[in-house]
Amino acid sequence: MKKGKSRTIYKQDAHGRYFAVKNEHPNSLGIIIKNTFYMVRLAYQAAPWRVVSQFIDTILSAATGLFFSIVFLEKIVGYLEVGAPFSEAVQFVIFSILLFGASDIFSTYYHEITWETGNQAMYEKLHLKLFEKATDVELECFENPEFYESYTKASSQIKGNVLGVLNISSTFLASGCSLLYLTYKSVRIDPFVLIFAVLPFLSTYVIEVKKNKASYERYKEGVKYEQREDYVRWTVFDSQFAKEIRLSNIFAVLKRQMDEAIGGSLRLIKKYGRKVVVLNASESAFNYTLTVGCTIAYAALRLLLCKSITAGEFVVLVSVIINFSNEIVNISKTLSRFQEYSQYIDTVREFQGYEPKISESQDGVRPERHTGALALEHVSFTYFGQKEPVLKDISIKIEQGQKIALVGHNGAGKTTLVKLLMRLYDPQKGTITLNGRDIREYNVRAYRDLFGTIFQDFQIFALSVAENIMMDEVKEEDREKISQALKNSGADQRVENLKHGMDTMLTREFDDEGAVLSGGEFQKIALARVFAKDSDIVILDEPSSALDPIAEYKMYESMLRACRDRSMVFISHRLSSAVLADYVYMLEDGRIIEEGSHKELLEKNGKYARMFRLQAKNYQ
């Protein structure tokens, strides 16, 4: 086998962070077999009867073809040569028809029912397997271009590749069984003709490897064009970009991007299409014209000149060799396809084999509720691929029930700090503790359940209002909690006026009667999530960015009233929220430059005081 593409292995550095390395390895027969069995096993676990039916159908189809092209002809010609009774021939024909009918019934049932239902079950379970893995890995992985590419490849290719692997696996097995029978028939009549049958094997394998290599190279070169086309399509149809597109000439730029992407794809078609055409023509000329012609000439020589075979044997011999050649070609093609699919399967195995550093599936201590302080001690953090740390030697302590504010300009590191608190990332230096215990010792899911959070870049899902608030399946007993959460967030009247109340779908992506709310209204829905969740620690990352000052005041008033006994972390550019906090930390360039109560910081007359007074002028 030729040397295949490198395989990505994820290792850990001195800080426990994962990074990708390339592990060059030969695309050996052993690797191909392992990859093939891996994919077949995944498919079988997802839809066992669908997989078994495919193998039965393919083998039955091959057996039926051999029966009618060889056995049937051999029997009919034999009856004519020996003058067998007509009734005997009729019985054999009836048997043949019944055999064909039974095979056809099974094949029809498989293709019309088992194939469709089995594929749906298979796709669902395989994609769920990938989705579960994607939700289990740490957030940092999605900022690693190589890892993210691995995930998107695995997800986009799983459907076509699992079908492809099942097809070539069942074809390979059926062709192997056919070759055993055809070899037996050939040896019985004339072993010499096997030379003509084997001739196509090497040529087909070599040509198919070249074709598959061209196909894979075209795929690799075409990914960048496909991504660009997908981006333009997604952008043009995404409501978030609708206003900018209509109020500017940016569509001309997007159109140029699309034209360049399509042009690149067309160039690849021409570049690799000509090569494939030449290879296909060479394959057909050698395998069929030359091989079949030589076989017929040799058999005719034995029949007409040497008189060493009968007319019946001539018919059977030609049919055997033609079938033999076809099966040899099938096996040659499937062998090269196994190599091709093995490269794709590697991507799936890499992704599934990744062991996350922060995994919700890992065991750990379950934290107690309403106890202890949350503390960062000399924490530093650098994002993947960046050299400069975003946070530098941060130490913060949040006592149970305490309200703190994190303030500072954009890029100061406030949101990153919150993500570390929730263990969406782990710091490279320092520790984060809850009740004196390192948070890495806690069960990740149980630890995160302590938090009720709204991020600045919150997302609204194309689901009902109730589901968007609960962020879970909605039970009947949740409805009162949802109503109270809507009242606390100030979104109750707006939701009550919707056609289906809290059951109204948000956005019109899947429902023509869905509600499209304003930015401020969507933010209130997101705020309601925090009110609805029985959390120990509430984190508000720019919770009022889309609200007017009056709505902002009411929101904070409701939040403080509802979260009287909970710890709270405010992140805001508007320092009005800092007035409500027990303690304020001001960040700049990843460091804490000032800390204290609002009154203390004003008395220091430092950067916080200047920033607060500057903002206060806008409200006077």
Contacting residues for 139 by C-beta, under 8 A, at least 6 apart:
419, 424, 425
Residue 529 located in a structural domain = no
Asked whether residue 93 falls in the same domain as residue 200, the answer is yes
346 and 431 fall within a common domain: no
Residue (of 417, 426, 424) closest to 398 by Cα position: 417
443/541 same-domain check: yes
Question: What residues form DSSP beta bridges with 584?
Answer: 405, 596
Same domain, 63 and 118: yes
Domain edge (last residue) among 353, 383, 410: 353
Same domain, 61 and 127: yes
Tell me the pLDDT tens digit for each residue of 65-109. 888 888 888 888 877 777 778 888 888 889 888 988 888 888 888
| Banded model confidence at residue 358, pLDDT cuts 50, 70, 90 | confident
The domain boundary, picked from 353, 387, 415, lies at: 353
- Tally of helices (H runs) and strands (E runs) in the chain: 20, 12
391 within domain boundaries? yes
CATH for 391: 3.40.50.300
Is 362 part of a structural domain of the chain? no
DSSP string covering 198-212: HHHHHHHHHHHHHHH
491 located within any domain: no
- 349 and 380 in a single domain? The answer is no
Residue with tokens 């550095």: 13
Same domain, residue pair 13 and 155: yes
- In the structure, what pLDDT confidence band is assigned to residue 4 with cuts at 50, 70 and 90? very low
Inside any domain, residue 300: yes
528: left (phi over 0), alpha (psi -120 to 50) or beta: alpha
In a domain, 493, yes or no: no
Residues 15, 133: one domain? yes
Distance between alpha carbon 401 and the CA centroid of its chain, in Å?
A: 41
Residue 280 is assigned to a structural domain of this protein: yes
Distance (Å, whole) CA 360 – CA 357? 10
Pair (104, 133) in one structural domain: yes
* Per-residue pLDDT tens digits for 473-528: 888 888 999 998 898 888 888 989 888 899 988 887 777 788 888 877 888 888 88
One domain, residues 303 and 414: no
Task: Answer yes or no: is pLDDT of 467 > 50.
Answer: yes
Domain holding 78: CATH number?
1.20.1560.10
Do 555 and 611 fall into the same domain? yes
**361 in a domain, yes or no?**
no
Number of domains in the chain: 2
From 323, 353, 383, the end of a domain falls on: 353
Do 158 and 90 share a structural domain? yes
Cα–Cα distances (Å) from 165 to 61, 169, 416, in that order, read: 18, 6, 43
Give me the domain span that covers residue 568: 374-450+535-617
Give 337-346 pLDDT, tens digit per residue.
887 788 778 8
Q: Residue 313: phi, psi to the nearest 5? A: -65, -35
